[in-house]
Amino acid sequence: MPKKSKVITVGLIQAKAHKEPAKNLSLTLAKAEKAAKDGAQIICTQELFSTEYFCQSEDHSKFDLAEPIPGPTTKAFQNLAQRYKIVLIVSIFEKRGSGVYHNSAAIINTDGAILGIYRKMHIPDDPLYYEKFYFTPGDLGFRSWKTPFGKIGVLICWDQWYPEAARLTAMQGAEILFYPTAIGWHPSEKAKYGKSQHNSWETIQRSHAIANGCYVATVNRVGHEETTDNGDGIEFWGQSFISDTSGELLRKADLDETTLLCDLDLGKVDTARTHWPFLRDRRIDAYSDITKRLVDE
């Protein structure tokens, strides 16, 4: 039991994307408003919630889906944040300038101001996940932000496979790591590899909670999307979850649309870090090779 409890409520919006961005925006705003009315204080959207997952092909016309920060999407969420005095983490396909686009998240504070931007640092590139075509890797580094409801860090999807990203965010004091995500199965691979792939994904993120004594809140999309003829699409596996500081799941969604609400006692972060004193014993004198690609013979 923590000596000093501080219970807050987070909300994760797991949804199916429609073809029309305006519809995704209005539905997500409505779900965020409902979550706020239900008590959520920090609400996080899924990755690129306003569109289908357009990275299934390399198509220049898709850059038209991007918008600046601030822009119409942040404006809409800023109004909501101010109205309900909540914190919002809003995934945005960011147009920073001609030819420079990012996979970003805007962190909006309770007063409606943009508290910060996180730009996805690790960009994947795999069949049907052609993100390196669209997104310049982030140049703002790993960040955490102080909000009235606790200190939060935001990382995006592919970042979740990197212990370095979680560590660097937690080292800035983050008590919760949020991961807006878009991951799913290639339908043709699902029977053979699907269970193992999903299990790896959940496990690596639970491990970040354990290693850093913090909460992890991951929100993933659902539904089958086929935005190209080049394959059989992606079946997004949903299963958004919230892990406690020991890696146990407090809430887990299935493969339906849902908004996960969960109470977190942030007092437990201090307790976890004291009783499992991993941060005390890090060998910072011996980690410098982490900045190498490999340690060659």
**219-258 footprint of a copy of itself as x/- string (CB under 8 A):** ---------------------------xxx----------
CB of 107 to a copy of itself, least distance (A): 16
Judged by CB under 8 A, does residue 1 bind a copy of itself?
Answer: no
Nearer to a copy of itself, 145 or 178 (CB): 145
**Element housing 101 (H / E):** strand 100-108
Judged by CB under 8 A, does residue 197 bind a copy of itself?
Answer: yes
**From 16, 44, 47, 95, the catalytic residue:** 47
Judged by CB under 8 A, does residue 289 bind a copy of itself?
Answer: yes
Judged by CB under 8 A, does residue 162 bind a copy of itself?
Answer: yes
Identify the residue among 158, 215, 237, 241 touching a copy of itself (CB under 8 A). Answer: 158
Alpha-carbon distance 168 to 201, whole Å?
A: 20
Q: Which amino acid appears at position 260 of this protein?
A: L
Identify the residue among 53, 142, 179, 237 touching a copy of itself (CB under 8 A). Answer: 142
What contacts 141, CB < 8 A, 6 or more positions away? 121, 168
CB of 231 to a copy of itself, least distance (A): 16
Judged by CB under 8 A, does residue 278 bind a copy of itself?
Answer: yes
Nearer to a copy of itself, 86 or 209 (CB): 209
What contacts 91, CB < 8 A, 6 or more positions away? 45, 46, 47, 48, 49, 50, 103, 104, 105, 156, 180
Torsion of CA 186, 209, 245, 250, to 10 degrees: -10
C-alpha 5: how far from chain center: 25
Alpha-carbon distance 28 to 33, whole Å?
A: 8
Alpha-carbon distance 240 to 234, whole Å?
A: 17
Q: Which amino acid appears at position 111 of this protein?
A: D
Residue 47 among the catalytic residues: yes
Active centre residues (catalytic):
47, 120, 157
* Positions that interact with a copy of itself (CB under 8 A): 121-124, 126, 137, 141-142, 158, 161-165, 167-168, 171-173, 196-197, 199-200, 203-204, 206-207, 210-211, 246-248, 276-279, 281-295, 297
